[in-house]
Amino acid sequence: MLEAIRRAISFLRQKQILHKLGVAVSIAVIGIACYVLYHMLRGMDVDDVVEAIKETEPRSIALAALFVAAGYFTLTFYDLFAVRAIGRADIPYRVNALAAFTSYSIGHNVGASVFTGGAVRYRIYANWGLNAIDVAKICFLAGLTFWLGNAAVLGLGIACHPEAAAAIDQLPPWLNRLFAFGIILGLVAYVAWVSARPRVVGRGLWTVVLPGGSLTLLQILIGIVDLGFCALAMYVLVPDEPNLGFVVVAVIFVSATLLGFASHSPGGLGVFDAAMLVGLWQMDREDLLAGMLLFRLLYYIAPFVISVILLTFREVILGARNKRLRQVAQGLEVEPHREAAYVRERGDPSA
């Protein structure tokens, strides 16, 4: 069975069917989102949105910023876990933190985070002797943590409140709950699978040893905490009335985030917003849009600016350090020539 699946995937890759299908899905998701967003925003008063932003309590904004900071702090453990998993415990946490923060914040804003985030990671980890294959493994394991966390949050959240997902996918609550139980059972089966014996994916140099059962549970916990902080940031910025509860908002937020991720648009722009407006249809549109704009400022724009500044300073420092090393190396090369010239002109200086 597994061999048949591998052959099918190999055939699809050779014919580039998976790539074409992915592009088609992205275009379809973006197109539907733009259509929905147009109808949701039609007739909305921009002045009311601006006024809603101004009326947002500074305490709520500060609390949301704190949750965003906590979420990005949790993101650093994605890389810490992945780097340790490939056997490079010598790389300090500060390097993992810089790589995770900058790669995710830039990837979130630029789009195609697999490639943009991977490029940022490679630039940072290359100085520690990691090659492109090592960085690819780190990206894979970090992505695995992300998807395991999403699956856990969606499975548990939809099982408790299936009507939250029904607001987005328009499926009956009982069917959403059935899907949620399927997700939970899939997670349990995966944990049992990696617990039975060491599991390996990939071939040759691209071989990755999957984390065992206990480490997989740690991955799931990291993902849940990360998404929990992000959902809390969104929760304190959305309107207080009607109070739908944190779990409902979290399910809709994670679903909207995944749709934005699937579209590959920068920051899920348009797709995330349309899903949130559809999912939280009970809330005032102007107030909800104001909260979403503030969330984008805190979660996307501010970290992106900070990351660009950090990477710029890093490149300047590395450039200056490399320049000094080159000067030292040139000096070591010049000194023997100077000594030889001195000997030719005046004899042996030690005589």
Per-residue pLDDT tens digits for 250-264: 999 988 888 877 766
Check residue 31 and give its pLDDT: 63
Is the confidence at residue 2, as pLDDT, over 50? no
- 200 phi and psi, to 5 degrees? -125, 135
Check residue 263 and give its pLDDT: 67
Mean of the per-residue pLDDT values for the chain?
A: 80
The pLDDT > 70 percentage for the chain reads: 78
Q: What would the pLDDT profile of 280-316 be if each residue is shown by its tens digit? A: 888 888 888 889 889 989 998 899 999 989 988 888 8
Q: What would the pLDDT profile of 136-158 be if each residue is shown by its tens digit? A: 899 999 989 989 998 999 999 99
Residue 215 or residue 7, greater confidence: 215
Is the confidence at residue 40, as pLDDT, over 90? no
User: What's the average model confidence in pLDDT over 338-347?
Assistant: 49
Check residue 94 and give its pLDDT: 92
Tell me the residue range of the domain where 329 lies: 2-346
Residue 57 or residue 45, greater confidence: 57
Is the confidence at residue 15, as pLDDT, over 70? no
User: What's the average model confidence in pLDDT over 212-240?
Assistant: 91
Check residue 111 and give its pLDDT: 65
Please give the tally of structural domains in the chain.
1
Check residue 10 and give its pLDDT: 56
User: What's the average model confidence in pLDDT over 2-6?
Assistant: 45
In a domain, 135, yes or no: yes
Q: Which residues contact 335 (CB under 8 A, 6 or more apart)?
A: none
Residue 273 or residue 185, greater confidence: 185
Output the 3-class SS for the chain: CHHHHHHHHHHHHHCCHHHHHHHHHHHHHHHHHHHHHHHHHCCCCHHHHHHHHHHCCHHHHHHHHHHHHHHHHHHHHHHHHHHHHCCCCCCCHHHHHHHHHHHHHHHHHHCCHHHHHHHHHHHHHHHHCCCHHHHHHHHHHHHHHHHHHHHHHHHHHHHHCHHHHHHHHCCCHHHHHHHHHHHHHHHHHHHHHHHHCCCEECCHHHCEECCCHHHHHHHHHHHHHHHHHHHHHHHHHCCCCCCCCHHHHHHHHHHHHHHHHHHCCHHHCCHHHHHHHHHCCCCCHHHHHHHHHHHHHHHHHHHHHHHHHHHHHHHHHHHHHHHHHHHHHHHHHHHHHHHHHHHHHHCCCCC
Work out the pLDDT band at 348, boundaries 50, 70, 90: very low
Nearest to 273 by CA among 262, 260, 287: 260
Is the confidence at residue 174, as pLDDT, over 70? yes
Is the confidence at residue 77, as pLDDT, over 70? yes
Work out the pLDDT band at 118, boundaries 50, 70, 90: confident
Work out the pLDDT band at 1, boundaries 50, 70, 90: very low
Check residue 9 and give its pLDDT: 45
- 211 phi and psi, to 5 degrees? -60, 145
In a domain, 351, yes or no: no
Is the confidence at residue 347, as pLDDT, over 80? no
Is the confidence at residue 159, as pLDDT, over 80? yes
Check residue 48 and give its pLDDT: 73
User: What's the average model confidence in pLDDT over 72-87?
Assistant: 91
Work out the pLDDT band at 267, boundaries 50, 70, 90: low
In a domain, 82, yes or no: yes
Is the confidence at residue 112, as pLDDT, over 70? no
In a domain, 78, yes or no: yes
C-alpha to C-alpha distance for 288 and 344, rounded to whole angstroms: 83
Check residue 107 and give its pLDDT: 82
Q: Which of 43-47, 59-63, 67-71 is predicted with the least confidence, judged by mean pLDDT?
A: 43-47
